[in-house]
Amino acid sequence: MTVRAVAAVDLGATSGRVMIGRVGDGVLELELVSRFRNGPVEREDGLHWDFAALYEHIVEGLAQAIRREPAIESIGIDSWAVDYGLLAGGELLAEPFHYRDERTARGVEEVHAIAPFAELYRRNGLQFLPFNTLYQYRVDTRLADADVALLIPDLLAFLLTGARVAERTNASTTGLLGVESGEWDTELADRLGIPSALLPELVDPGTLIGELRPELAARIGATLPVIAVGSHDTASAVAAVPMTSPSAAYISCGTWGLVGLELSDPVLTDAARDANFTHELGVDGRYRFLHNVTGLWLLSETVRAWESEDGAPVDLPELLAAASAVDGTVPLFDANDPSLNAPGDMPGRIAALLRATGAEPPTDRAAFARSIVESIAAAFAEAITTAARLSGRPIDVIHLVGGGSLNALLCQATADRTGLTVLAGPVEATALGNVLVQARALGAAPATLEEMRALVAATHAPRRFTPHP
> Which parts of this chain interact with ligand LFR (CB under 6 A)?
12-13, 80-82, 99, 232-234, 254-256, 258, 292
CB 242 within 8 A of CB 399: yes
Q: CA 264, CA 425: separation in Å to the nearest integer?
A: 24
Q: CA 14, CA 32: separation in Å to the nearest integer?
A: 16
CB 235 within 8 A of CB 288: yes
Q: How far is the CB of 333 from ligand LFR (least distance, A)?
A: 21
DSSP helix/strand/coil, 217: helix
What is the length of the chain? 469
Q: CA 148, CA 95: separation in Å to the nearest integer?
A: 15
DSSP helix/strand/coil, 84: strand
DSSP helix/strand/coil, 219: helix
Q: CA 269, CA 267: separation in Å to the nearest integer?
A: 6
Which of 371/430 has CB closer to ligand LFR? 430
CB 10 within 8 A of CB 19: yes
For 309, residues 6+ apart whose C-beta sits below 8 A from its C-beta are none
CB 20 within 8 A of CB 5: yes
Residue 53 to residues 38, 39, 50, 95, 452, Cα–Cα distance (Å): 9, 11, 6, 11, 33
Which of 255/336 has CB closer to ligand LFR? 255
233 is catalytic: yes
Q: How far is the CB of 342 from ligand LFR (least distance, A)?
A: 14
Which of 12/61 has CB closer to ligand LFR? 12
Q: How far is the CB of 242 from ligand LFR (least distance, A)?
A: 19
Phi, psi of 420 (to 5 degrees): -120, 155
Return the DSSP state at 444. Answer: -
Q: How far is the CB of 103 from ligand LFR (least distance, A)?
A: 16
Which of 22/232 has CB closer to ligand LFR? 232
Q: CA 414, CA 454: separation in Å to the nearest integer?
A: 24
Residue 168: how many other CB atoms lie within 10 Å: 24
Selected catalytic residue, list 233, 284, 337, 416: 233
Which of 9/23 has CB closer to ligand LFR? 9
CB 290 within 8 A of CB 387: yes
Residue 266: how many other CB atoms lie within 10 Å: 13
Which of 49/99 has CB closer to ligand LFR? 99
DSSP structure string for 5-40: EEEEEEE-SSEEEEEEEEEETTEEEEEEEEEEE--E
The b/e string for 382-400 (b: 16+ C-beta within 10 A; e otherwise) is: bbbebbbebbebebebbbb
Residues with catalytic roles: 233
